């Protein structure tokens, strides 16, 4: 628990202190958001608002993670230290954040609402996702447990193993499966980041859920339990909990500046980084399919875009929603931005609660 408090506290303080200075710097250099022309008219006032706020909280998370382990080592309390699992989360978090940074950089300096071309973003995300997936099946501990698993997981690993035809087939299929999760999640969070504070608040709840799950998996780890039917074979759950708390702390501080009226936007730097971290948690905590419930708000918003685009093409120009992603449909229906954000936060909280309920219920039933 000390580690979680340290990680969250350091990340929160760093973000809270650095963000005003960063906003001043961006404002001075006139590095502001370019608002899309086809968006709601009410968003025109957002043009010029500093963006790339993700740079600060991404760096804060990195510093807080390593600082926490350093402090724990000095206190003689670090039993596991820096882990392969923790570094893999940071790889996907930081790697996707870097892709987002390149995207934001192009938008700002070319003064356009579109940054990297679609194929460029896909290639960069694929390179990072493949690297993550391959490395996730390496670094076995003394029990032979690797951070990732070729088994498809829901509330824990299932009997569906992608390595059914041997380890090489398993590796290839796992890389494809992991990239599907990573790409889908990063883009879903990116689509959610369209209103002041919306993606930030929802992400805090999601990371809070993974923090609680990490604590529970550590307490019920097979290495600590005599009941093999209900214990969890998850590598380094204590480090997953630490990173979940650290991310929550950084985003709570960021929300202070990102809530309406936003003084800064996270940009693709932040949204892609958050999406990468969420995907990493789902894969490494062995709860891949549960992601659909815990991150249900992101899923619904992403589906709204898929439905809108698909129906538009099939119907010859007709639309299901007034505008996609879904949050803009409600804006154009007369809801204020604040109402949309608060109600979507409520939805995000309900999805998180449902996910945690499923996670705990499975353990109780298995007793």
Residue numbers in the known binding site are 190, 268
Residues 3/81, Cβ–Cβ less than 8 Å: no
**Residue 165 tokens, joined:** 């035809």
Cα–Cα distance for residue pair 23/168, rounded to 1 Å: 48
Residues in the chain: 367
- Beta partners for residue 232, in sequence order: 221
Environment class of residue 128 by beta-carbon count within 10 Å: exposed (0-12), middle (13-18) or buried (19+)? buried
Which residue is listed with tokens 């999601």? 206
Spatial distance between the Cα atoms of 240 and 233, rounded to a whole number of angstroms = 14
Tell me what percent of the chain is helix, strand and coil, each rounded to the nearest 5: 70, 5, 30
For residue 18, what are the contacts with CB-CB under 8 A and spacing of at least 6? 56, 59, 60
117, 207 in Cβ contact below 8 A? no
- Which of helix, strand or coil describes residue 160? strand
Helix 237-258, helix 198-219: angle, nearest 10: 160
Are 320 and 308 within 8 A, CB to CB? yes
Annotated binding site for Mg(2+): 190, 268
Does residue 302 have a cis peptide bond before it, meaning omega lies within 30 degrees of 0?
no
Residue spans of alpha helices (H) in 76-117: 84-110
């Amino acid at each position: 628990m000390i580690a979680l408090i340290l990680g969250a506290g350091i990340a929160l303080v760093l973000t809270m202190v650095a963000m005003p200075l960063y906003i001043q710097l961006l404002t001075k250099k006139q590095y502001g958001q370019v608002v899309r022309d086809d968006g709601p008219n009410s968003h025109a006032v957002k043009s010029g608002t500093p963006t790339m706020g993700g740079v600060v909280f991404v760096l804060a998370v990195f510093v807080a993670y390593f600082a926490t382990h350093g402090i724990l080592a000095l206190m003689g309390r670090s039993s596991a230290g820096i882990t392969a699992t923790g570094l893999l989360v940071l790889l996907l978090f930081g790697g996707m954040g870097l892709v987002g940074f390149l995207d934001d950089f192009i938008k700002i300096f070319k003064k356009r609402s579109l940054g990297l071309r679609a194929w460029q973003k896909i290639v960069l995300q694929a390179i990072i996702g493949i690297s993550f997936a391959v490395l996730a099946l390496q670094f076995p501990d003394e029990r032979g447990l690797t951070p990732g698993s070729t088994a498809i997981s829901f509330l824990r690993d299932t009997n569906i193993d992608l390595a059914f035809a041997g380890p090489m087939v398993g590796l290839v299929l796992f890389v494809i499966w992991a990239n599907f999760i990573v790409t889908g999640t990063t883009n879903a969070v990116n689509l959610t980041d369209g209103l002041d504070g919306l993606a930030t608040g929802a992400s805090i709840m999601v990371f809070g859920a993974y923090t609680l799950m990490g604590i529970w998996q550590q307490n019920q780890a097979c290495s600590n339990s005599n009941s093999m039917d209900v214990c969890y074979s998850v590598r380094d759950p204590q480090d997953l909990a630490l990173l979940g708390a650290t991310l929550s702390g950084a985003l709570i501080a960021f929300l202070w500046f990102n809530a309406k009226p936003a003084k800064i936007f996270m940009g693709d730097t932040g949204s892609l980084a958050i999406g990468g971290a969420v995907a990493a948690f789902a894969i490494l905590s062995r709860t891949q399919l549960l992601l659909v419930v815990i991150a249900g708000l992101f899923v619904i918003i992403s589906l709204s875009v898929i439905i809108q685009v698909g129906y538009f093409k099939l119907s010859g120009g007709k639309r299901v929603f007034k505008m996609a992603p879904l949050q803009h449909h409600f804006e154009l229906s007369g809801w204020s931005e604040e109402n949309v954000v608060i109600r979507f936060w409520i939805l995000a909280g309900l999805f998180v609660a449902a996910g945690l309920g499923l996670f705990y219920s499975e353990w109780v039933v298995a007793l």
